[in-house]
Amino acid sequence: MMKQRLSWTLTSFFLFTVSVLAQPASQPPKAPDDMVLVPAGEFTMGTNQGEAIGPTHPRYYNDARPEHKVTLPAFYIDKTEVTNTQYKAYCEATNYPTPPHWKNGEYNNGEGDFPVTRISWHEATAYAIWLGKRLPTEAEWEKAARGEDKRIFPWGNNWDDKRVIWHRNRPFKVGTKANGASPYGALDMAGNVYEWTASWYDAYPNAPHKFAEFGTQMKVIRGGGFDGGDFIARTDFRSVAYPSARSDMIGFRCVQDVK
């Protein structure tokens, strides 16, 4: 009887072990609609590029130095910038005033899928909270744009003006440059409009240069705009704006924690 019980126990253990080992690896969580997943892990932020590229851009390469490793938990990020249609829904639901340049509370005909602009940092934050989201930190934004291979542009290391909305006098419909997607599938992370982040403009660890604006005066905006040069479309390029600023060159997208 003892031998029979032992045989049953060993058989059950064997079958349980085989069953566990046969289970498929856990799948990453599915991103909510219109968002993409950025997995947890380490990436390289910033650049070790040389000094400023000219007297008109004294900060570039200086405020983004040096390269440093950052480890982030997984998060979701909007696939595209927030659109006029999406922001109007927020205004209607909360009775919040529409952007000041809209005529009679309406965006221009045919521009529902254009990124909403002239939204202050405070307003962008309020919109994100309304959806149960938040603005991305600067590090989250950069990882979503460049991935873990230190790419210079969302699509790779070589400039390609066919992958980005630029050299225009205004923004354009979001998501039209599918071939300019980031490693995780986020679109328009170069060109179209700059995007608010949650982060104050401050020095990176061991920064070789310090600027008077570092601290809690201005917020970092990322992604470049619709009328700039190729250098502002770089994934490591930093620009800034006061939180109260309203500009037709600044929009935003949101992130959400993975629970």
Whether residue 24 is contained in a domain is answered as no
Q: From its phi and psi, is residue 215 left (phi > 0), alpha (psi between -120 and 50) or beta?
A: left
Query: What does the chain come to in residues?
Result: 259
| Mean pLDDT confidence for 132-153 | 97
Strand ranges (DSSP E) for the chain?
35-38, 41-45, 68-72, 75-78, 194-200, 219-222, 239-241, 250-251, 255-257
Q: How far is CA 141 from the centre of its chain?
A: 3
Beta pairing class for 250-251 and 194-200:
parallel
Q: Which of 1-5, 70-74, 216-220, 222-226 has the lowest mean pLDDT?
A: 1-5
Whether residue 25 is contained in a domain is answered as no
Whether residue 94 is contained in a domain is answered as yes
- Number of domains, the chain: 1
Whether residue 125 is contained in a domain is answered as yes
| Mean pLDDT confidence for 226-255 | 93
- Rounded to the nearest integer, the mean pLDDT of the chain is 87
| C-alpha span between 235 and 222 (Å, rounded) | 8
| Mean pLDDT confidence for 11-33 | 51
Whether residue 111 is contained in a domain is answered as yes
**Residue ranges making up the domain that contains 119:** 35-257
Whether residue 182 is contained in a domain is answered as yes
Q: What would the DSSP string read from start to end of 69-81?
A: EEEE--EEEESSP
| C-alpha span between 74 and 38 (Å, rounded) | 6
Tell me the whole-structure pTM to 2 decimals.
0.86
Whether residue 3 is contained in a domain is answered as no
Q: Give the model confidence (pLDDT) of 224-233 as tens digits.
A: 889 877 888 9
| C-alpha span between 224 and 195 (Å, rounded) | 8
- The confidence score (pLDDT) of residue 78 equals 98
| Mean pLDDT confidence for 73-91 | 98
Whether residue 124 is contained in a domain is answered as yes
Q: How confident is the model at residue 61 (pLDDT cuts 50, 70, 90)?
A: low
| C-alpha span between 30 and 38 (Å, rounded) | 11
Q: How confident is the model at residue 20 (pLDDT cuts 50, 70, 90)?
A: very low
- The confidence score (pLDDT) of residue 5 equals 44
Model confidence at 120: pLDDT above 60: yes
Domain harbouring 149, CATH code: 3.90.1580.10
